[in-house]
Homo-oligomer: A and B are copies of this chain.
Amino acid sequence: MARKSAEVRREEILAATVEEIEATGLRTLRVADVAERLGLSASLVIYHFATKEALVAAAFDHAGRNDLDHARNLAAGTGSARERLSEVIGWYMPAGSTRSWKIWIDGWSAGLFDEDLKSTFSALDRDWKTILADLIVEGIGSGEVASRGDEAGAQSADGFAEACATRILAYLDGLAVQLLFNSDSVSQEKLRAWVGEFLTSELD
């Protein structure tokens, strides 16, 4: 039974945990299932993470950081600020990405009554906003994006970009929920078109 260093094993377990949550939900998550997914004993999972609660918290953080890293790569790529913005948003979008939406909805619900998880999600959300807002500011600088300076409470381009990022993420989150519960009324193409229109009305 090939032994691994704690660090490597922890990563494996976190990945397996995320997969398990993705597959069957937080509600029915058992540490024995996570272990079985890797052919390990449940005790080992607890050996590495002390409690199930800590495991779950670490797993969400892990998944969130991974997604953010990917997004940061896209944001640092070549192309105009507006193009990179579209790419990042395309990655966040609830369509055609490997980014899994189920776990986040599950996570939100757990975060409602768990302060630790809640702050994890707040932090992830802030990071997403920062990525978007930076690109928007860059776009304003290069003239690709028209800052609607008339907005109440947004004196600066930074303020506008931040608010704009918040609205975009909110819309994407909401569309994800629609997609999960009413895939009848929201096809992937419609979704893509709607997001495009929303971005136009926000940025152009």
Contacts and interface: CB of A to CB of B under 8 A. Distances in A.
Contacts of A109: 25-27, 105-106, 108-110
A175 to B, nearest CB: 5
Contacts of A166: 178, 182, 185-186
Interface in A13-31: 24-28
A153 B110 contact: no
A109 B114 CA distance: 15
A113 B109 CA distance: 14
A29 to B, nearest CB: 11
Interface string A167-204: 10111111101101110011000100110000001000
A163 to B, nearest CB: 7
Contacts of A84: none
Q: Is the interface of A mostly helix, strand, loop or mixed?
A: helix
Given A105-B108, A106-B109, A181 B24 contact: no
**Complex copy number for this chain:** 2
Nearest to A120: B181
12 contacts: A27-B109, A102-B112, A106-B112, A109-B109, A112-B180, A126-B182, A163-B185, A170-B174, A170-B175, A170-B178, A173-B174, A174-B177
A153 B111 CA distance: 38
Contact of A190 (B163, B171, B175): B163
Interface residues of A, number: 44
A73 B150 CA distance: 36
B25 A112 contact: yes
Contacts of A172: 174
B194 A167 contact: yes
Contacts of A126: 182
Nearest to A22: B112
Nearest to A119: B181
A108 B173 contact: no
